[in-house]
Structure 1
Amino acid sequence: MGPVRRIAQIVHLKPSAVAAYKECHANVWPEVLQQIKDCNIKDYSIFFDNDRTLFATFKYVGTDFEGDMELMRANPKIREWWAMTDGMQDSPIPGAVSSADGPGWWKVLDEVFYTE
């Protein structure tokens, strides 16, 4: 296991999708949960500011982040999940296409402070 890497991201939720987004995340598909685990992601949380911003945070505990993200993108069930959830969101990334393709979907944030 490599050093823990903390990652935080944001994306915007469409107002019309709040209930559906919360519902699908209350019943995340088992294949999605397994792939997250298999890609060395721990302590994954998504928060909603009850306006429009979703804030996600997780710890990456593997040694090949890009390789693990390629494995994630290659999983057809993950791509199906992302197609569903991307339709509920507006990306803050200029030129964003989807979670599976393009320059990214969730905007990665810079960490400016941390304490244990």
Structure 2
Amino acid sequence: MTKKLLILFMPALLLAACGQQRGPAVRYGMATGIRPEKIAYYKELHAAVWPGVRKTIRECNIRNYSIYLKEIEGKHYLFSYFEYTGSDFEADMKKMAADTVTQRWWKETAPAQIPLPDAAAAGQTWSGMEELMHLE
């Protein structure tokens, strides 16, 4: 009986763990490197994110979005956190990528960023992170 229950509930448990779903929002943590000589410019850009970029982020169901900077042993890293409240993450990310203002923004920020090896191998800038703990 225990094995049958485990098999029955395993897909739901895996989906919950992989998606980190805990209610109406899915939380995402991501990391990338940043070039030391570009930190000041990156901070300047993010102190006044373009209105069109902010609008697109909201329209793509992203909320509670933050980016942090950390130096570790002389290397600099960015950590981002956001919550996704939509129902089709892939479609919303395609919508964001198609936005011309966002494309221009990414062209401004890309020279500052140093993708981590897993992201670089996938042609991405940011590496996904595993959530280990959450407290409401």
TM-score with structure 2 setting the length? 0.76
Output the amino acid matched with 1:37: R
Q: Distance in 1 between matches of 2:109 and 2:45?
A: 8
Q: 1:21–1:88: 8 Å Cα contact kept in structure 2?
A: yes
C-alpha deviations, 1:28-65, integer Å up to 9, x for none?
10000000000000000000014501000000000000
The corresponding residue for 2:111 is 87
Q: 2:65–2:80: 8 Å Cα contact kept in structure 1?
A: yes
Please state how far the C-alpha of 1:76 moved relative to its aligned partner. Answer: 1.1
Q: Give the ranges of 4+ consecutive aligned residues of structure 1 lying more than 3 Å apart after TM superposition.
A: none
Please state how far the C-alpha of 1:103 moved relative to its aligned partner. Answer: 3.5
Q: Distance in 2 between matches of 1:64 and 1:43?
A: 18
Matched, 1:55 2:79: yes
The corresponding residue for 2:39 is 18
Q: Higher Cα Rg: structure 1 or 2?
A: 2
- Stretches of structure 2 that go unaligned for 5 or more consecutive residues are 1-22
Output the amino acid matched with 1:82: W
- Decide which moves more: 56-65 or 44-53: 44-53
Matched, 1:115 2:135: yes
- Stretches of structure 1 that go unaligned for 5 or more consecutive residues are none
Q: Distance in 2 between matches of 1:54 and 1:93?
A: 14
Q: 1:93–1:104: 8 Å Cα contact kept in structure 2?
A: no
Q: 1:10–1:106: 8 Å Cα contact kept in structure 2?
A: yes
3-state SS of 1:49 partner: strand
C-alpha deviations, 1:53-81, integer Å up to 9, x for none?
10000000000000000000001111110
Output the amino acid matched with 1:8: G
The corresponding residue for 1:3 is 24
TM-score with structure 1 setting the length? 0.89
